[in-house]
Amino acid sequence: MARKRHLSRIAAMQVLFEREKRSIDEMNSLRINMKELGDTDETFAKTLVEGVIALEDELRETVMKHAPEWTFEKLDPIARPILLIGAYELLHGNDAPPAVVMNEAIEIAKEYGTEETGKFVNGVLNAIAKGM
């Protein structure tokens, strides 16, 4: 189950990353990404993508409140979708403890970004979790 969710978070991150670059059909992109990644939890991935899109303004505002020296556009392009997913799970998800959400986000940030991306994601999500 944990591995499926990890891959589902990656698929959702990829869709949100791609969505920033060009106009896409998010659900089609999600299906393609999940197929490429293998064993994913389709329902969970779809919930993440739809939830982030529906609450994007609120989630951006929350991220920026906890990263006050940055504008959203200046954030690492890998960090942006990871932070949106993490903020969504922390604030609106109810099926994973905050420590699990933060650890997953940090691992994905390190895997797809840099060590510094992981540290930044950790700091912002930790601040969001403490403010809940």
Q: Which domains does the chain have, with CATH numbers?
A: 2-130 (1.10.940.10)
Res 1: pLDDT? 57
pLDDT, the chain, mean: 94
Q: Nearest-CA neighbor of 4 among 32, 47, 38, 49?
A: 38
With bands split at pLDDT 50, 70 and 90, how would you rate the model's confidence at 6? very high
The backbone region for 71, taken as left when phi is positive above 0, alpha when psi lies in -120 to 50, beta otherwise, is: beta
Average pLDDT over residues 118-127: 96
